[in-house]
Amino acid sequence: MRLDLVANAVAFQVGWFACVLGAASGNGWIGPLFVGLFVLVQLWITEERWKEVHLLLGTLVVGWSFDTVLIGLGYYSPVSNVFEGWGSSPWLVAMWVNFALTLRHSMRWLKGRYGLGAVMGAVSGPLAYHAGIRLGAMTMLDGPYIMTLLLSIGWAIAVPLLIWLAWREDP
Protein backbone atom coordinates (compact mmCIF):
# COMPACT_ATOMS: atom_id res chain seq x y z
CA MET A 1 0.00 0.00 0.00
CA ARG A 2 1.37 3.37 -1.03
CA LEU A 3 1.51 5.87 1.80
CA ASP A 4 0.85 8.83 -0.53
CA LEU A 5 -2.47 7.28 -1.64
CA VAL A 6 -3.50 6.63 1.96
CA ALA A 7 -2.57 10.20 2.89
CA ASN A 8 -4.63 11.47 -0.07
CA ALA A 9 -7.68 9.47 1.03
CA VAL A 10 -7.32 10.63 4.65
CA ALA A 11 -6.91 14.27 3.57
CA PHE A 12 -10.11 13.91 1.50
CA GLN A 13 -12.05 12.67 4.53
CA VAL A 14 -10.64 15.39 6.78
CA GLY A 15 -11.50 17.96 4.11
CA TRP A 16 -15.07 16.71 3.86
CA PHE A 17 -15.58 16.99 7.61
CA ALA A 18 -13.81 20.37 7.75
CA CYS A 19 -16.21 21.72 5.12
CA VAL A 20 -19.38 20.27 6.61
CA LEU A 21 -18.68 20.75 10.31
CA GLY A 22 -17.11 24.16 9.71
CA ALA A 23 -20.24 25.33 7.87
CA ALA A 24 -22.54 23.76 10.45
CA SER A 25 -20.75 25.64 13.24
CA GLY A 26 -20.99 28.96 11.39
CA ASN A 27 -17.36 28.88 10.29
CA GLY A 28 -17.78 28.28 6.57
CA TRP A 29 -14.19 29.40 5.94
CA ILE A 30 -12.62 26.39 7.71
CA GLY A 31 -13.33 23.89 4.93
CA PRO A 32 -12.09 26.06 2.04
CA LEU A 33 -8.97 26.88 4.08
CA PHE A 34 -8.19 23.19 4.65
CA VAL A 35 -8.97 22.27 1.04
CA GLY A 36 -6.80 25.17 -0.14
CA LEU A 37 -3.91 23.76 1.89
CA PHE A 38 -4.65 20.29 0.47
CA VAL A 39 -4.49 21.79 -3.05
CA LEU A 40 -1.14 23.41 -2.33
CA VAL A 41 0.34 20.20 -0.92
CA GLN A 42 -1.04 18.15 -3.80
CA LEU A 43 0.36 20.55 -6.39
CA TRP A 44 3.70 20.56 -4.61
CA ILE A 45 4.07 16.76 -4.56
CA THR A 46 2.55 15.89 -7.94
CA GLU A 47 4.70 15.67 -11.04
CA GLU A 48 1.82 16.64 -13.33
CA ARG A 49 0.77 19.99 -11.90
CA TRP A 50 -0.96 21.33 -15.01
CA LYS A 51 -3.12 18.23 -15.36
CA GLU A 52 -4.11 18.65 -11.72
CA VAL A 53 -4.79 22.38 -12.16
CA HIS A 54 -6.97 21.76 -15.24
CA LEU A 55 -8.94 19.12 -13.33
CA LEU A 56 -9.40 21.39 -10.32
CA LEU A 57 -10.56 24.34 -12.42
CA GLY A 58 -12.97 22.15 -14.40
CA THR A 59 -14.33 20.64 -11.19
CA LEU A 60 -14.75 24.07 -9.64
CA VAL A 61 -16.95 25.12 -12.58
CA VAL A 62 -18.95 21.86 -12.61
CA GLY A 63 -19.48 21.88 -8.84
CA TRP A 64 -20.41 25.55 -8.57
CA SER A 65 -22.84 25.23 -11.50
CA PHE A 66 -24.46 22.04 -10.21
CA ASP A 67 -25.05 23.31 -6.69
CA THR A 68 -26.08 26.77 -7.87
CA VAL A 69 -28.83 25.26 -10.03
CA LEU A 70 -30.18 23.04 -7.23
CA ILE A 71 -30.00 25.87 -4.70
CA GLY A 72 -31.73 28.17 -7.20
CA LEU A 73 -34.47 25.57 -7.74
CA GLY A 74 -35.06 25.62 -3.99
CA TYR A 75 -34.13 22.08 -3.01
CA TYR A 76 -31.58 22.95 -0.34
CA SER A 77 -29.78 25.90 1.14
CA PRO A 78 -26.23 25.85 2.53
CA VAL A 79 -25.60 27.57 5.85
CA SER A 80 -22.61 29.89 6.14
CA ASN A 81 -23.06 31.04 2.55
CA VAL A 82 -21.13 34.27 2.20
CA PHE A 83 -22.42 34.61 -1.37
CA GLU A 84 -26.11 34.34 -0.52
CA GLY A 85 -28.10 34.95 -3.67
CA TRP A 86 -25.08 34.41 -5.91
CA GLY A 87 -25.15 30.65 -5.99
CA SER A 88 -23.21 27.94 -4.28
CA SER A 89 -21.31 28.53 -1.08
CA PRO A 90 -17.49 28.47 -1.07
CA TRP A 91 -17.46 25.52 1.31
CA LEU A 92 -19.65 23.49 -1.10
CA VAL A 93 -17.34 24.34 -4.00
CA ALA A 94 -14.37 23.38 -1.83
CA MET A 95 -15.96 19.96 -1.34
CA TRP A 96 -16.03 19.43 -5.11
CA VAL A 97 -12.38 20.45 -5.38
CA ASN A 98 -11.61 18.18 -2.43
CA PHE A 99 -13.17 15.26 -4.34
CA ALA A 100 -11.25 16.13 -7.50
CA LEU A 101 -7.98 15.94 -5.56
CA THR A 102 -8.55 12.19 -5.20
CA LEU A 103 -9.25 11.32 -8.83
CA ARG A 104 -5.64 11.16 -10.02
CA HIS A 105 -4.44 9.69 -6.73
CA SER A 106 -6.31 7.55 -4.18
CA MET A 107 -9.23 7.02 -6.60
CA ARG A 108 -7.12 6.48 -9.71
CA TRP A 109 -8.66 2.99 -9.92
CA LEU A 110 -11.68 4.76 -11.47
CA LYS A 111 -9.63 5.67 -14.56
CA GLY A 112 -11.65 4.58 -17.61
CA ARG A 113 -14.42 3.08 -15.44
CA TYR A 114 -17.17 5.50 -16.35
CA GLY A 115 -20.05 3.12 -15.57
CA LEU A 116 -18.68 2.37 -12.13
CA GLY A 117 -18.13 6.10 -11.62
CA ALA A 118 -21.76 6.77 -12.56
CA VAL A 119 -23.05 4.19 -10.08
CA MET A 120 -20.70 5.44 -7.39
CA GLY A 121 -21.81 9.04 -8.00
CA ALA A 122 -25.50 8.16 -8.06
CA VAL A 123 -25.21 6.53 -4.63
CA SER A 124 -22.51 8.47 -2.79
CA GLY A 125 -23.45 11.97 -4.01
CA PRO A 126 -26.91 12.01 -2.41
CA LEU A 127 -25.59 10.27 0.71
CA ALA A 128 -23.00 13.02 1.18
CA TYR A 129 -25.62 15.76 0.81
CA HIS A 130 -28.03 14.06 3.20
CA ALA A 131 -25.18 13.62 5.71
CA GLY A 132 -24.45 17.34 5.36
CA ILE A 133 -28.11 18.10 6.05
CA ARG A 134 -28.11 15.84 9.12
CA LEU A 135 -24.93 17.47 10.43
CA GLY A 136 -26.46 20.95 10.05
CA ALA A 137 -24.46 22.28 7.10
CA MET A 138 -27.51 22.59 4.84
CA THR A 139 -31.23 22.83 5.16
CA MET A 140 -33.59 20.95 2.90
CA LEU A 141 -36.18 23.32 1.56
CA ASP A 142 -38.51 21.23 -0.55
CA GLY A 143 -39.05 17.78 -1.97
CA PRO A 144 -36.56 15.34 -0.39
CA TYR A 145 -37.39 12.62 -2.92
CA ILE A 146 -37.05 14.89 -5.93
CA MET A 147 -33.86 16.37 -4.46
CA THR A 148 -32.40 12.88 -3.98
CA LEU A 149 -33.35 11.91 -7.54
CA LEU A 150 -31.78 15.09 -8.96
CA LEU A 151 -28.64 14.56 -6.88
CA SER A 152 -28.40 10.96 -8.09
CA ILE A 153 -28.80 11.92 -11.73
CA GLY A 154 -26.43 14.87 -11.41
CA TRP A 155 -23.70 12.92 -9.66
CA ALA A 156 -24.16 9.97 -12.05
CA ILE A 157 -23.25 12.42 -14.81
CA ALA A 158 -20.67 14.47 -12.89
CA VAL A 159 -18.41 11.65 -11.68
CA PRO A 160 -17.78 10.13 -15.15
CA LEU A 161 -17.25 13.66 -16.49
CA LEU A 162 -14.70 14.36 -13.76
CA ILE A 163 -13.00 11.01 -14.38
CA TRP A 164 -12.71 11.98 -18.04
CA LEU A 165 -11.33 15.42 -17.07
CA ALA A 166 -8.80 13.77 -14.77
CA TRP A 167 -7.43 11.45 -17.44
CA ARG A 168 -8.24 13.05 -20.81
CA GLU A 169 -4.63 14.00 -21.47
CA ASP A 170 -3.23 10.56 -20.65
CA PRO A 171 -3.13 7.55 -22.96
* Interval 82-102 mean pLDDT: 89
According to the model, what pLDDT value does residue 6 have?
95
Using alpha carbons, select from 15, 13, 24, 27 the residue that is nearest to residue 133. 24
Q: Which of 8-12, 92-96, 142-146 has the lowest mean pLDDT?
A: 142-146
80 pLDDT more than 80: no
pLDDT band at 144 (very low <50, low <70, confident <90, very high): confident
Backbone angles phi, psi at 20, to 5 degrees: -70, -50
Q: Are the CB atoms for 28 and 91 separated by under 8 Å?
A: yes
pTM over 0.85: yes
- What 3-state DSSP class applies to 160? helix
3-class secondary structure for 26-91? Answer: CCCCHHHHHHHHHHHHHHHHCCCHHHHHHHHHHHHHHHHHHHHHHHHCCCEEECCCCCCCCCCCHH
* Interval 64-81 mean pLDDT: 88
Q: Are the CB atoms for 22 and 31 separated by under 8 Å?
A: yes
82 pLDDT more than 80: no
According to the model, what pLDDT value does residue 31 have?
96
Using alpha carbons, select from 159, 85, 165 the residue that is nearest to residue 123. 159
